[in-house]
Amino acid sequence: AINFLIETGTLLHFPDTSHGLRNLYFLDPVWLSECLQRIFNIKSSKSVAKNGVIRAEDLRMLLVGTGFTEQTEEQYFQFLAKFEIALPVANNSYLLPHLLPTKPALDIHGLCHQTTNTVQRVFKMSFVPVGFWQRFIARMLISLAEMDLQLFENKKNTKTRNKKVTIYSFTGTQRNRCSTFRVKRTHTVYWQEGLFVTFDGGYLSVESSDVNWKKKKSGGIKIICQSEVRDFSAMAFITDHVNSLIDQWFPALTATESDGTLLMEQYVPCHICAASKSEENERGEKVEDAQYFNMEDCVLTAIELDYITCPNHPSIPVSLQELVPELFMTDFPARLFLENSKLECSENENNVLGQGGSGTVIYRARYQGKPVAVKRFQIKKCKGSPTSAADTMLKHLRAMDAMKNFSEFRQEASMLHSLQHPCIVSLIGISIHPLCFALELAPLGSLTTVLSENSKGSSFVPLGHMLTHKIAYQIVTGLAYLHKKNIIFCDLKSDNILVWSLDVKEHVNIKLSDYGISRQSFHEGALGVEGTPGYQAPEIRPRIVYDEKVDMFSYGMVLYELLSGQRPVLGQHQLQIAKKLSKGIRPVLGQPEEVQLYRMQALMMECWDTKPEKRPLAISVVGQMKDPTFATFMYLLPCRKQSSFFSSQGQEYTVVFWDGKEDTRNYTVVNPEKGVIEVERMSCPGMKLCCQLKFQNALWAATEDQKISVYGLQGMCPLKTPQKSLDTPATVSCFLVMPVVKKNSYVVLAGLSDGLVAVFSVSQGIPGDNCSYLCSHTANRSKFNISDDDPRQNPYPVKAMEITNSGTEVWYSNGPGILIIDCVAMEISRRLEPFSAPSLITSIACNSECHGEEVVWCLDDKSNFLVMYHVATYQLCARYFCGDCSPLRDMFTIQQPSAAIPATAPIKNQAVENNPLADMSIMYSPEVGTQILNHQDSLTDYCSVSSYSSSPPNRITPCPSSLPSSPMSSSSAPLSTDFEESDRFHELKPSPDDDAVPVGDNTEHLQAVKILPVKDLIWIPRRGGDIIVIGLEKESGTQRGRVIAVLKAGELAPFGALVDAALIAKDTVVCCFQNENTEWCLAVWRGWSSRDFDVFYQAYEELGRLETCMRKRR
């Protein structure tokens, strides 16, 4: 029905996908014509459309009151460009062709004088297509503006004699000829069917031409280039634009008429004849017509010679380098022409690396002693002159084939020459005889080869998660660079991705290659059916305008290859594959919990969406992949309704959910390593669980009725009758296994809800009959002189326990304090006061600091402070506030144990110690975020934070684990220590204008939940779902902590709050989310060390540095 309405003109619709034009359906064509009338009514004036160019904001003003909105204006602008009503000439301006004059505003013919320093080119056309001149002028304005910009960037300090003059560089250098050619523009004139540029020493002219071709009137294009230094490389610049415009937008001109004659032919007038004709005209002598060389003849002659003979003056050869400069690449600098004597290339099968389109072959070769890849274009030589019609046709076919090869060679070489990026293969040089160019040689071949070699025996991600992320990032970085230069790759696939290294420490692992069919979009999209079936976007169809989103579709297919190790096969025939892709059928990949690169898999599906407007831009993907969340977030696994969650200690990859009570009690076992639920809702009647411990082949299950049931585990068999049942005076709140005393024997500590610690001796997996208890209340009163009415004597549950000091001590929570058990004497020996009542310590963890000494971290539920103790001296070394809204790059000072706050001071003198905020200053700066500083910290420490980004980069001494420099480039600089020691004890007062840390009910999502010692880092999950990652580093003998990453997956927002977290097998972090319906969801993260983060950050920091260096070097 819609097609019928479109065919009858009742409804207007255009299938172009560029900028989402196909999403608009015009219900009222009359209304649309009225909208267009607003544009046609514009008069060329200085205020609105000077020189026929209108600013985008002025064009938007014309939409006011028409019904177009901000959401549809981009499609409307694309509609205007489709019909050449308004063509983009920059990001913020449009050309209105109807405002251009029909004739030039000055007498250009009076400025032109035919001399021997002039070359011409004539395009004979049976017809000039509608829109040709409009699009050509728009392209020229864009190209000239880009040349202005490049010149401004490269020659900022160049002094010019005339400030109003603009320099254009056509780089017409060649061996044994002039150096880089530059023109100083003095006038630029364009009208409806022409463009004219004058400069010191010559001019360029492109205009419509009606020429008497053997008494047959026909339209055409006439191009004139004059140069006093006889450098006609500007002719190549112009003809490139004409030919690419015709090939892409007006391919009908390349066809033939019914009698076999070409619809378009190129002719090159002999410039020597033309100059003589001009002189004879001036003297009034008889004039002979100048010789017009057919372009086919020039191409066939250029295969063997660099000159051609004119019948009017056979004794004076005509230089083809001047006549057809584009064939001899005269716009290329001399340094890029290969010296054939230094090129070692043998065309045998052993050296073949691959084949390209149009019969091109890529060989392994050596140039100047270094390995290179040579792409050879095959051109057949034409023997003798044609003597019959068959010979003439054969000559024509050979000429067409040669012209096609020359065209593809020039296009790809020119594009490679203009690209300077570490992820784009570099051009070594070019050669005309033979026709070839040399490229960097990839040591490992294509990505297709590498994946096929590494995917054997691997289900997913055959190259490993870190290398896969780096390769995917470098590919999209290269794409973003191409798109920034308005280039559409059109043929992105694993075959065109060359691999340099598989070492994750290398800065560049891959490079993009093969730009033979790439297109320049000129802000207007592109036409043409290009690409490889399976990688080709479904919107690429004849006469359909598309944009850079086609590359993002291909990128999605490449991501599929990286994740699966397989090619995206959807059929054997191109039509079959295209039909499936247009219907939304895609290659099948495993579930996210199997692939375990959640963000990359989601990006893959977003990129290969059938609708181009739903695919992301390459530059936005680059931003996404700079977030470490992209690589560390493995998957999420919904686990339905459950009551409680418990993790396993040691190297086991299991977590257990319990649900229900009495007869309905059941358990679910999840394997985070494989992302599977191994046991689901297995019945195990009994009271509701409050705590669990799995160690070796035993499972200790503590229930609410103050009992502990010890089960023997045999494989995945269901839990049956417990081997032993133990009674406790209170419910168990946590378990801890002590180090092995002797073979098959160990000790289990059970922290109770009333503050007691039960001690069970276990032999052969069975606890003994005797049980002893450690009483926190008694120790506080008798050893630490804490009276019964002190809030610290409340019956606090034991929330956390941790083995420290090489297994000789156990630190456990006692309300706001920590009690330390001497494991040898099995008695409470010391008390620490990290917090004050009513705070309750919820998590304790142990790891090593920069010098390799043990430290203990503890966290409370009220102040939200992270506190660090030095184990050997029991001294408090650092505090960090975990409630910062933007914690990235936060830093905190770590005091040396000898200078730290005494943690064992007399109890009566700990008023300041009991108030965690009393000795703190909260200070904020936009450069480094919120800083929590002890009043005992030095003024040096705070001033160091302020000067953080400007200090010399060679002062840092990293930890042995090599803490990453920073997620931001400025963070790689160290702290300054240029202040005197006498300032160390100055008290710091926050400025009244400083942003204080927010306090209130809306900060619950910032509450830290647990401390996870992941390798050499500390991970702090918060209720809002994000994870603060803290690393330690040392500088000039002092240590500090720094937030090196904040991990947050927005995909987890619908699953409620983060309520628990666990470190599984030392390399996997599992975060548990629970919503209001008690439905649980596991978020599984890859447990990175500081080295992993360092590799990740350097992946884009070094790439950016290399790109900058290449741009400056150019």
Residue 221 domain-assigned (yes or no): yes
Which pLDDT belongs to residue 42? Answer: 80
Which pLDDT belongs to residue 393? Answer: 79
Inter-residue contact 815 to 808 (CB < 8 Å): no
| 90 and 152 share one domain | no
Which pLDDT belongs to residue 166? Answer: 38
pLDDT at 177 over 50: no
Inter-residue contact 142 to 245 (CB < 8 Å): no
Between residues 551 and 17, which one has the greater pLDDT? 551
> Crossing angle, helix 1090-1113 and helix 465-484, to 10 degrees?
30
| 311 and 352 share one domain | no
| 462 and 421 share one domain | no
Residue 314 domain-assigned (yes or no): yes
Q: Which of 331, 491, 495, 941 is flagged as catalytic? A: 491
- List the CATH number of the domain containing 292: 3.30.310.200
Inter-residue contact 679 to 717 (CB < 8 Å): no
| 282 and 323 share one domain | yes
pLDDT at 975 over 90: no
Which pLDDT belongs to residue 111? Answer: 63
Tokens at 815, concatenated: 């309300």
Q: What is the pLDDT of residues 988-1044, one digit of tens each?
A: 333 333 333 444 457 899 999 999 999 999 999 999 999 999 999 988 778 899 999
Residue 14 domain-assigned (yes or no): yes
Listed in sequence order, the residues at least 6 apart from 457 whose beta carbon sits closer than 8 Å to its beta carbon are none
- As to burial, measured by CB atoms within 10 angstroms (0-12 exposed, 13-18 middle, 19+ buried), residue 1082 is buried
Q: Mark which of 567, 601, 625 sits at the end of a domain.
A: 625
Q: 196-210, 320-334, 558-572, 864-878 — which is least confidently predicted?
A: 196-210
| 127 and 260 share one domain | yes
CA max distance for the chain: 130
Which pLDDT belongs to residue 1009? Answer: 96
| 459 and 434 share one domain | no
Residue 557 domain-assigned (yes or no): yes
Strand partners, 666: 659, 683
Which pLDDT belongs to residue 986? Answer: 34
Give 1047-1054's long-range contacts (Cβ < 8 A, gap of 24+).
Answer: 1047/628, 1047/629, 1047/632, 1047/633, 1047/1085, 1048/629, 1048/1024, 1049/598, 1049/599, 1049/629, 1049/633, 1049/636, 1049/1025, 1049/1083, 1051/598, 1051/602, 1051/636, 1052/636, 1052/1025, 1052/1081, 1052/1083, 1053/1025
Q: What is the pLDDT of residues 436-480, one digit of tens each?
A: 999 999 999 999 999 999 988 778 999 999 999 999 999 999 999
For residue 7, give the 3-state DSSP assignment.
helix
For 375, the domain range is: 343-383+396-440
- List the CATH number of the domain containing 430: 3.30.200.20
- List the CATH number of the domain containing 541: 1.10.510.10
Inter-residue contact 1035 to 957 (CB < 8 Å): yes
Which pLDDT belongs to residue 928? Answer: 45
pLDDT at 272 over 80: yes
Listed in sequence order, the residues at least 6 apart from 897 whose beta carbon sits closer than 8 Å to its beta carbon are 870, 872, 873, 875, 877
Between residues 961 and 843, which one has the greater pLDDT? 843
Domain count, the chain: 4
Is 769 one of the annotated active-site residues of the chain? no
Integer-rounded Cα Rg, in Å, for the chain is: 38
Tokens at 48, concatenated: 């609105």
Upper half-sphere CA count for residue 91 (Cβ side, 13 Å): 4
Average pLDDT, stretch 134-155? Answer: 78
Which pLDDT belongs to residue 1003? Answer: 85
Q: 118-122, 556-560, 991-995 — which is least confidently predicted?
A: 991-995
Which pLDDT belongs to residue 47? Answer: 67
Inter-residue contact 204 to 182 (CB < 8 Å): no
How many angstroms separate the CA atoms of 743 and 1019, rounded?
34
| 454 and 424 share one domain | no
Average pLDDT, stretch 46-58? Answer: 83
pTM: 0.85
Which pLDDT belongs to residue 494? Answer: 95
Which pLDDT belongs to residue 121? Answer: 92
Q: Mark which of 625, 644, 673 sits at the end of a domain.
A: 625
pLDDT at 70 over 90: no
- List the CATH number of the domain containing 87: 1.10.10.2200
Q: Give the CA distances from residue 954 to residues 446, 916, 927, in Å, rounded to whole numbers and listed in that order.
A: 38, 35, 20
Which pLDDT belongs to residue 1? Answer: 76
Q: Mark which of 337, 353, 369 sits at the end of a domain.
A: 337
Average pLDDT, stretch 923-940? Answer: 44
| 283 and 195 share one domain | yes
Residue 723 domain-assigned (yes or no): no
Percent of the chain with pLDDT over 90: 46
Q: 339-353, 551-565, 875-889, 998-1012 — which is least confidently predicted?
A: 998-1012
Assign 3-state DSSP to the chain and report helix, strand, coil percentages, each to 5. Answer: 30, 30, 40
Please tell me what DSSP assigns to residue 175: T
pLDDT at 535 over 90: yes
Give 173-178's long-range contacts (Cβ < 8 A, gap of 24+).
Answer: 173/330, 173/332, 173/333, 173/334, 174/321, 174/328, 174/329, 174/330, 174/332, 174/334, 174/337, 175/334, 175/337, 177/231, 177/330, 177/334, 178/229, 178/230, 178/231
Residues counted in the chain: 1114
How many angstroms separate the CA atoms of 631 and 1088, rounded?
10
Which pLDDT belongs to residue 378? Answer: 84
Residue 338's pLDDT band (boundaries 50, 70, 90)?
very high
How many angstroms separate the CA atoms of 658 and 669, rounded?
9
Mean pLDDT, the chain, integer: 83
Q: What is the pLDDT of residues 607-659, one digit of tens each?
A: 999 999 999 999 999 999 999 999 999 999 999 899 899 987 767 888 999 99
Listed in sequence order, the residues at least 6 apart from 330 whose beta carbon sits closer than 8 Å to its beta carbon are 172, 173, 174, 177, 231, 232, 233, 236, 321
Strands (E), 299-342: 307-308, 318-319
| 189 and 234 share one domain | yes
Q: What is the pLDDT of residues 202-220, one digit of tens each?
A: 888 999 886 554 444 457 8
Which pLDDT belongs to residue 386? Answer: 59
What string of H, E and C letters represents the secondary structure of 917-956? CCCEEEEEECCCEEEEEECCCCHHHHHHHHCHHHCCCCCE
| 318 and 403 share one domain | no
| 612 and 475 share one domain | yes
Residue 903 domain-assigned (yes or no): no
Percent of the chain with pLDDT over 70: 82
| 134 and 77 share one domain | no
Residue 908 domain-assigned (yes or no): no
241: number of Cβ within 10 Å: 19
How many angstroms separate the CA atoms of 161 and 147, rounded?
19
Inter-residue contact 100 to 189 (CB < 8 Å): no
Q: What is the pLDDT of residues 790-811, one digit of tens each?
A: 999 999 999 999 999 988 999 9
Q: What is the pLDDT of residues 725-761, one digit of tens each?
A: 999 999 999 999 987 767 778 899 999 999 999 999 9
pLDDT at 422 over 80: yes
String of DSSP letters for 186-201:
EEEEEETTEEEEEETT
Residue 1047 domain-assigned (yes or no): no
